[in-house]
């Protein structure tokens, strides 16, 4: 099973969360199913996704950075694809 761990450095967690929730249909359409969202602090969030099509999800990351990121106040982000060992 492929999963993706994402880390988001944000300006305001509340704004990020609102935009993150609104983006769910686009993520789902692009092979990303949210399993868990964690808040580390007011400026750091982590998400764990189940990935059904890694190529499609990887392509969507570019869109996420360009469109979702600025709307949600994302200052930086990291995405790591991992597989169950």
* Among candidate residues 8, 6, 27, the one with its CA nearest the CA of residue 69: 8
Residue 64: pLDDT over 90: no
Predicted model pTM? 0.91
Contact 31, 53 (CB under 8 A): yes
pLDDT tens, 65-76?
Answer: 888 889 899 999
SS3 of residue 42 by DSSP: coil
Residue 11 DSSP symbol: S
Contact 16, 8 (CB under 8 A): yes
pLDDT tens, 28-44?
Answer: 999 999 999 999 999 99
Q: What domains sit in the chain, N to C, each tagged with a CATH number?
A: 2-78 (3.30.70.1710)
Residue 84: pLDDT over 90: no
Q: Dihedrals φ, ψ of 84, to 5°?
A: -65, 130
């Amino acid at each position: 099973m492929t999963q993706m761990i994402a880390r988001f450095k944000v300006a305001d967690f509340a704004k990020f969360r609102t935009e993150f929730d609104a983006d769910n249909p686009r993520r789902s359409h692009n092979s990303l199913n949210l399993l868990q969202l964690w808040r580390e602090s007011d400026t750091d969030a982590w998400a764990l996704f189940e990935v059904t099509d890694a190529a499609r999800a990887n392509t969507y990351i570019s869109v996420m950075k360009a469109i979702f990121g600025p709307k949600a106040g994302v200052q930086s982000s990291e995405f790591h694809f991992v597989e169950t060992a």
